[in-house]
Structure 1
Amino acid sequence: MSGFHRHRRSKRIIANFTGFEADLLRSLASQLVELLRNEAAVPRDDVDPLEAMFDFTGPTQEPEDPVLARLFPTAYPADEEAAAEFRRFTEGSLRDGKANAAIAIIDGLEEAGLPPELTEEGLMIDVELDEPGAETWMRSFTDLRLALATRLGVEEGDEEYWHSLPDDDPTAQAHDIYEWVGYLQETLVQALSD
């Protein structure tokens, strides 16, 4: 995996993933979608679309899951009522935006040729993104990194701890995935600025 880069002629953003990397990225994005959708209100099909646009009955309490609490922090920590109102009006659309960005990663990988069940050992997946698509992936990488960091308990300045863990430690392996997503995000930011 060489990260993202901008193609000189087409100006599209390109990355090459092994089948394993693409499947791992799809799995991470799928888990994020599931987390965002399972705790969100399930959309109803029987509601008039115009009425749905003006439905502000979203959640008013901070999510119990630490990842969701990190993804949707309290806007007004010193004012519980204002925080509840802000959350009620914004969290539903923010959840949808984050879920849709993760779905864009899944769709992009599948459009690039990732089969539903990974079976071929040496499979390479070439992803090509336009700038809006690349920006969507970048936002989702941020959410994935926040989710992984929260689950792992990553803190600023704790690199020595993570590097001291044995390679076969599952926590160290999960941290390697966290760093890999960071690498993807960093190369994507660079490709967008080229």
Structure 2
Amino acid sequence: MPGHFEPLPGGGAAVALDEVEISIIRSLAVQLLELIGPGPGADAPDDPLAELFADGPSEPPADPVLRRLFPDAYSDPDKAPASPAEAEQRRAHSAEFRRYTENDLRAGKRENALGVIRSLDALAAAGEGGAVLKLTREESRQWLGALNDLRLAIGARLEITDEDDTDLLYRLPEEDPRKPMVLAYLWLGGLQETLVATLLS
């Protein structure tokens, strides 16, 4: 079980984590929350409908990590628009789609990250040192979403665009300042892969 998820009877998953691993995942989840930011209704916390009916942004985020987490719906990096009119049509469709969906996507990503933090805090409160984290099926889905978002965020920072980039990162020298991020990216990928296998079993 160390380093990978295993299925639990009746659904869900379990993984053994030590103190350092718990600290790393929690820290990354907190950073992800800070990056995603509060919802659009945060300025009016006394109005529970404020976020529900707030329009989302219509332009892609400036930050490359947020662009990876919230990509344009109508862009195709492998196929350039045939004309300026088609490019403008794609932009307009993407803006409209983003306006109506990004708030919900952000809320879902925040909830997944919070789910990871809550489960790790409960694990830390239950005992000292490392322990076995046991997740329900719903908590496992939250973890899967958060692990995916964390890998997308780190991959964007490392400028990973395809599998060849990952192969190059394996060969980075130890003194390369990107090495800790690469190790986190690969480790989270292993966790994600075993969690997917567990949920499909």
- The aligned counterpart of 1:88 is 99
Deviation string 1:99-122 (CA, Å, 9 cap, x unpaired) is 11011001011111269xxxx7xx
For 2:56, give the aligned amino acid: G
Query: How much has 1:10 moved relative to structure 2?
Result: 5.5
Residue 10 (structure 2) pairs with residue 6 (structure 1): no
2:120 alignment partner, one of 96, 109, 115: 109
Cα contact 1:15–1:128 (8 A) shared by 2: yes
1:59 alignment partner, one of 54, 57, 60: 57
What is the number of residues matched between the two proteins? Answer: 184
- Structure 1: any 5+ residue segments left out of the alignment? none
Cα contact 2:12–2:138 (8 A) shared by 1: no
The 2-side partners of 1:45 and 1:51 are apart by 8
The 1-side partners of 2:50 and 2:196 are apart by 38
- The aligned counterpart of 2:29 is 29
- Structure 2: any 5+ residue segments left out of the alignment? 76-86
Change (3 A) 1:51 1:141: closer
Change (3 A) 1:2 1:173: same
The 2-side partners of 1:41 and 1:74 are apart by 19
Q: Root-mean-square deviation (CA), in Å?
A: 2.0
3-state SS of 1:126 partner: strand
Cα contact 2:5–2:195 (8 A) shared by 1: yes
Query: How much has 1:161 moved relative to structure 2?
Result: 2.2
Change (3 A) 1:51 1:69: closer
Percent identity over the alignment?
36
TM-score, normalisation: structure 2: 0.83
The 2-side partners of 1:18 and 1:106 are apart by 15
For 2:151, give the aligned amino acid: R
Residue 105 (structure 2) pairs with residue 98 (structure 1): no
Query: How much has 1:76 moved relative to structure 2?
Result: 2.2
For 2:159, give the aligned amino acid: G
The 1-side partners of 2:7 and 2:40 are apart by 39
- The aligned counterpart of 1:172 is 179
